Amino acid sequence: MIFDWRYRCAPIDQVFMAGGSSISGGMTLGGFTFEMPESGGRSMLLMNFATFADDATNLDASWTASRIMNGTVFRIRLYNTVQLVPSLILGSNGVGPLWSNDQPWANGEPWAYDPTAPVAVNALAGAAAFTVDLAEYGPVLKIGHVIGFTVGDHDGAHMVLDIAYDGDVATVTVEPPLRRSLTTDSRMKFRPKMLAKCVNPSEVATNFTSGRHMTFGGATFVEAMI
Amino acid sequence: MTFSGNLLAALDGGGDISLRIYRLYHYDFDGVPVRLWAGQGRLFVGGQEWLGTVDERGTDRHQAQTVQTPRDGTSPRYTFGLPYIDKATYNALKADKSLAMGRAMTSWYCLVLDGEGLRPSTPLRFAYRLTIQEVEFGDARQGDPANSQRAYSASVLMRTDEVGRSREPRGTYTDTSQRERARLMGVASDSFCGMVARNSRRTITIEN
């Protein structure tokens, strides 16, 4: 089962890492022990939380506590940290569109802000690089940014490790490698989501203190490769 | 480019050497082949998709044994654990074990160069082949009642292809069969395989 992460259960910090695993490589003549990154290792998402204040968020947290213990895969929309390309640079105020009748959703929220750019060349799953056409924004993507793709039901987030611009067309090397094949109909997302599973559920779902406030412990999410 | 060629080129390239070699396992069950590799995620090589057996905690769920040399005509027996296979494959194998009996399990080496992600371009290199003798099934629950998991698993018992080789009348290994074969083919030899049995039982001590 894949559930959407309750966006209200917002962390106070979040970091996306594409560390993966490494293999001990050996020792140089100088005595430096080096390691080699494992091909295509899983990405990781760390989050810390403050106490949840309002009732609705606490109810979401209550539900999340059960689901998280169940080994559920969560579809987590990455929160807006400096790892994402800022909306100002993308020429927007970072607020998503309203419905066509200028109304928000029932909870007062507009649609999620979801800027994208078209993929320029087909890329196969497993590849470590893809090409994206950034003509709409200019060369905004930099090393260290996190971008992502949604292909069918699959959401993947990727760390930009290297980037080469040819005009506004960028060849981007990412880690982890692409999990799904991309076509020129695919679009690269500046507000990526990732599918992830919590690997320390019992540490996360800890304190439902008397009264009504829940605090989550620090959560470690590891990419779920489905 | 061949496996060795690519490997040597990467090693001789100067500067940093960045390459990984992984083992791939192809269980050729009839109709439901299982392809595994000792890594994470789906690996695309040889026109096939291989499933990584390392889970999100870094544990390799595939219990692959070290395969030894089958010299001396002995045929070691190996049990490979295939935990967490998908239910369709599990059911197919359990319903009809003949899908597995006598089928081959082939192991390959896969070279992944830097920047290739999970789509290496080097052809695979053959490592060894085993013949599947038997499959055993497990269907276990683990954990507390409030938080338990159900796991379907299968163990595959295998021998190398040298099984029973020394007993074959026209086999290649025993002294008797070698002599008989040489007689039929009209070939002369000096010692045939007379030394094999002796060598296999010999203890060699090296004095320092």
Residue-wise pLDDT for A73-82, tens only, equals: 999 999 988 9
**DSSP-derived secondary structure letter, A85:** P
Average pLDDT of chain B is: 78
- Report pLDDT for B74: 57
Start-to-end Cα distance in chain A: 11
Q: How confident is the model at residue A2 (pLDDT cuts 50, 70, 90)?
A: confident
Q: Considering only CA atoms, which of A118, A114, A174 is closest in space to residue A142?
A: A174
> Chain B residue closest to A28 (CA)?
B16
Interface touch A129/B117, C-beta < 8 Å: yes
How many Å separate Cα B110 from the centre of its chain?
A: 13
pLDDT at A226 over 60: yes
Contact B135, B106 (CB under 8 A): no
pLDDT at B70: 57
Q: How many independent structural domains does chain A possess?
A: 2
Q: Does B126 touch chain A (CB under 8 A)?
A: no
Q: Is B133 on the interface with A (CB under 8 A)?
A: no
Neighbours of A183 (CB within 10 A): 10
Which of A27, A39, A226 to probe the B interface (max B CBs under 10 A)?
A: A39
Residues forming a β-bridge with A219: A47
**Closest among A193, A192, A178, A90 to A131, alpha carbons compared:** A178
Is B40 in contact with A178 (Cβ distance < 8 A)?
no
Closest by Cα among A81, A71, A104 to A3 = A71
Mark whether A103 and A171 lie in a shared domain.
yes
Say if residue A173 is in the same domain as residue A98.
yes
Residues of B whose CB is below 8 A from A225: 40-42, 52
Pair (A168, A141) in one structural domain: yes
Choice among A162-171, A200-209, B16-25, B190-199 with the minimum mean pLDDT: B190-199
Closest to A205 (Cα-Cα) out of A214, A196, A197: A214
**Average pLDDT value for residue range A196-217:** 80
Which phi and psi (to 5°) does residue A61 adopt? -65, -40
**CA angle, residues A159, A163, A166, in degrees to nearest 5:** 145
- Which tokens go with A181? 């094949």
pLDDT tens figures, A114-132: 899 999 999 999 899 999 9
Taking CB atoms and an 8 Å cutoff, what residues of chain A touch B39?
A: 38-40
Higher-confidence position of B37 and B191: B37
With beta carbons less than 8 A apart as the criterion, state whether A76 and A194 touch.
yes
The count of other CB atoms within 10 Å of the CB of residue A82 is: 10
Residue A37 maps to which CATH number?
3.30.200
Residue the block writes with tokens 């045939």: B192
Q: Which residue of chain A comes nearest to B116, CA vs CA?
A: A128
Residues of A whose CB is below 8 A from B41: 40-42, 176-177, 179, 225
According to DSSP, the β-strands at B48-52 and B34-37 are parallel
Sign of CA dihedral A111, A113, A118, A123: negative
A119 with A171, same domain: the answer is yes
| pTM for this entry | 0.77
Supply the DSSP symbol for A112: P
Q: What is the DSSP string of B36-91?
A: EESSSSEEEETTEEEEE-B-TTS-B--BPPPPPP-GGG---EEEEEEET--HHHHH
- In the block, tokens 């998402």 appear at A45
Instruction: For residues A178 and A212, state if they share a domain.
Output: no
CB B105 within 8 A of CB B155: no
φ/ψ of residue B175, rounded to 5: -60, -45
Per-domain residue ranges of chain B: 3-163, 164-208
Question: Could you tell me the pLDDT band of residue A159, with boundaries at 50, 70 and 90?
Answer: very high
pLDDT confidence bin for B164, thresholds 50/70/90 = very low
In Å, what is the CA distance from B3 to each residue of A169, B7, B108, B113, B125? 34, 6, 11, 11, 6
For residues B75-79, give the mean pLDDT. 71
Sign of the dihedral defined by the CA atoms of residues A203, A204, A205, A207, in that order? positive
Residues 35-54 of B with CB under 8 A from A: 39-44, 52, 54
Same-domain check for residues A64 and A134 = no
CB–CB contact B116 A20 (8 Å): no
* In a shared domain, residues A183 and A197: no
Looking at the structure, tell me whether residues A202 and A186 fall in a common domain: no
The answer on A222 and A198 residing in a single domain is: yes
Chain A CB contacts of B115 under 8 Å are 128-129, 173
Q: Kindly list the distances between the CA atom of residue A139 and the CA atoms of A54, A145, B61, in Å, as whole numbers in the listed order.
A: 41, 12, 43
Report the residue from B18, B40, B58 with minimal CB separation from A40: B40
Which among B40, B44, B57 has the least Cβ separation from residue A38?
Answer: B40
Confidence grade of residue B163 (pLDDT, cut at 50, 70, 90)? very low
Query: Is A173–B20 a contact, with Cβ atoms under 8 angstroms apart?
Result: no
A130: chain B residues, CB-CB within 8 Å: none
Residue type, B62: H
What residues of A are in the B interface, CB distance below 8 Å? 20-21, 23, 36, 38-42, 69-71, 124-129, 173, 176-179, 197, 199, 222-225
Q: Which of helix, strand or coil describes residue B176?
A: helix
Which pLDDT score, from 0 to 100, does residue A172 have? 94
Looking at the structure, do residues A74 and A11 belong to the same domain, yes or no? yes
With bands split at pLDDT 50, 70 and 90, how would you rate the model's confidence at A170? very high
ipTM tops the 0.90 cut: no
Q: How far is B140 from chain A, CA to nearest CA, in Å?
A: 17
Q: Which residue has the higher pLDDT, A19 or B35?
A: B35
Q: Range with the lowest mean pLDDT among A7-16, A181-190, B169-178?
A: B169-178
The pLDDT, as a whole number, for residue B201 is: 63
From CA B110, how far away is CA A81, in angstroms rounded?
38
Using only C-alpha atoms, chain B has a radius of gyration, in whole angstroms, of 22
CB-based contact A128 B115, cutoff 8 Å: yes
Mutate to test the interface with A, among B119, B144, B150 (most CBs of A within 10 A): B119
Q: Would you state the pLDDT for residue A149?
A: 94
The mean pLDDT value for A168-195 works out to 92
Task: Write the residue in B41, B56, B112 that is nearest to A179 by C-beta.
Answer: B41
The answer on A65 and A1 residing in a single domain is: yes
φ and ψ at residue B91, rounded to 5 degrees = -65, -40
Average pLDDT over residues B29-41: 86
Nearest residue in chain A measured CA to CA from B41: A225
Question: Does the distance separating the beta carbons of B42 and A124 come in below 8 Å?
Answer: no
Range of the structural domain that residue A140 is part of: 84-191
**B100 is written with which tokens?**
């597995």
